[in-house]
Amino acid sequence: MYKLIKRTDLLKILFRSLLIEASWNFEAMQNIGFTYGLLPAGKRLYKTREERAAFLKRHLKFFNTHPAMAPAIMGVVINMEERHKLGEAGALEQIEGIKTSMMGPLAAIGDNVFWEYLRPFSAVVGVSIVMLFKDSNHPYLALLGPLVTVIIYNAINAFVRYRGLVQGYERGVDILSVIRGFNLTALIDKLKFSSALILGLTVALIFPTLNIRVFGADILNSLLFLGVTLLFFGMLKIKIFPTVIFYSIIAAAILFKYIL
């Protein structure tokens, strides 16, 4: 559907979207970052000083959503601006309403997926790798922990940003069907289960002091791993966020090592 906007413009907008909170303010929150991200499209569509000034004025209004979901809204807005430039009546008047209607729901989705589940899940994976290798014959492998954390979180973040921007531009308001196709509810359920499993393993690694060996196996450590995994899974089921559980583990580890 690349009629007036070029693929290079979308790539510029994608990179600019990473700076959406660089000029965050209390009055209109992400409006400056949002408008800055859209500038390549504005320059492509509008050539006169007056048209560009009107474009900036339209988008410097209040805007706030989850940063990873903002490109999807940017894509829809570019789609509407292009349709207006091509002469479609009423396209321009719909922009503000579309932005307003999408900001809240996408913010809720982004906060839930990225900050409440994906971020702690990524951190737990990294911590588990550190705990697994720190006392091994190859302790340098523990350095993979922070690297894996960054890769997991940012790979999914980058995919959602890119997919949201491109599909938002190509489909317009139909982007909502694409977002539903991400099946984020299923992703959250998988992150819940995986977080519980890895948190249980992390506890078993942090508290390795109970050892009763039967047929060569550390029975109490295995039971600890299983019991804590089930406990954490139950806590996640009753809406206790992984972040809370994760920091509780850190506090318990400090208490166990340096106080008790």
pLDDT of residue 215: 44
What is the DSSP annotation of 45-74? H--SHHHHHHHHHHHSS-B---TTTHHHHH
DSSP one-letter code for 115: I
**Which residue ranges of the chain lie beneath pLDDT 70?**
1-2, 178-185, 187, 192, 195-197, 199-222, 224-225, 229, 242-243, 246, 250, 253-254, 256-260
Determine the Cα–Cα distance for residues 219 and 238; give it in Å rounded to an integer: 29
pLDDT of residue 1: 54
Question: How does 68-103 read in b/e, with b if 16+ C-beta sit within 10 Å?
Answer: bbbbbbbbbbbbbbbbbbeeeeebeebbeebbeebb
* Long-range Cβ contact pairs of 245-249 (< 8 A, separation 24 or more): 245/120, 245/195, 245/199, 246/120, 246/123, 246/124, 246/199, 249/199, 249/202, 249/203, 249/206
| Dihedral pair phi/psi, residue 104, rounded to 5° | -65, -55
Q: pTM higher than 0.85 for the full model?
A: no
Determine the Cα–Cα distance for residues 136 and 150; give it in Å rounded to an integer: 23
Type of residue found at 224: L
pLDDT of residue 214: 43
In this structure, the strands spanning 213-214 and 217-218 are antiparallel
Nearest to 30 by CA among 108, 99, 124: 99
pLDDT of residue 209: 47
pLDDT of residue 121: 82
pLDDT of residue 65: 95
> Could you identify the residue written with the tokens 């400090």?
254
pLDDT of residue 240: 76
